[in-house]
Amino acid sequence: MNKGILAVYPGSFDPPTNGHLDIVFRASCLFSKIIVAITENASKNHIFSLNKRIDLFQKITKNLKNVEVISFSGLLVNYLEKINSFILIRGLRALSDFEYEFQMALMNRKLNKKIETIFLMTDQAYTFISSNMIKEIAMLGGNIADFVPDCVEKELKKVCYCDLSKKIIQSSKY
């Protein structure tokens, strides 16, 4: 454990998956404190509100005493400077993640030389899990129980059920 080191795990987490949980659990064993920083990324079409994503991430990490979940807006490097943290945690799955993550790590370091991005390789059990894919499967009525924590599955089912009901009502109007 790196005593006294605060690390930040940023992301949109829409929704949090077992892959995210694995990364935050492993990071919490490496650093004294992890801040999960949830961003409201305007360019993404979120299924869950910022508050709901915070609530879900808090629920799934309630047993990890050195993990705090917050939201942030604006430039990540500014937030890091503000809380005096210079370690970013990111997860890496397949090669397809690499280019984007590499570019972002280099840009963050260009913006602030002190920042180091630490990549944790996904566990092979979670390599194919992405929030987007989980949303698609849920929307199409598939079983997502193996990919997300129970509370996330419950919330996704609620949203998808509402969505489906709206579509049925819409189509019955014509």
131 an active-site residue?
Answer: yes
Helix (H, G, I), strand (E, B) or coil at 59: helix
The residue count for the chain: 174
20 catalytically annotated: yes
Q: Of the two residues 55 and 168, which places its CB atom closer to ligand ADP in the complex?
A: 55
Task: Determine what percent of the chain falls in helix, strand and coil, rounding each to the nearest 5.
Answer: 50, 20, 30
Catalytic residue among 28, 90, 131, 135: 131
Shortest gap between Cβ of 22 and ligand ADP (angstroms)?
6
List of residues contacting ligand ADP (CB under 6 A): 11-13, 17, 19-20, 23, 90-91, 93, 97, 122, 126, 129-131
DSSP H or E run through 165: helix 150-172
- C-alpha 152/C-alpha 147 separation (Å) is 10
DSSP-derived secondary structure for 63-104: T-TTEEEEEE-S-HHHHHHHHT--EEEEEE-SHHHHHHHHHH
Q: Which is nearer to ligand ADP, 112 or 130 (CB)?
A: 130
Min dist CB 172 to ligand ADP, Å, is: 35
Among 71, 93, 109, 130, which one carries the catalytic annotation?
Answer: 93
Residue written as tokens 């509402």? 162
Find the catalytic residue in 32, 44, 154, 158. 44
Nearer to ligand ADP, 33 or 46 (CB): 46
Q: Is 93 a catalytic residue?
A: yes
Q: Which residues are catalytic?
A: 20, 44, 93, 131
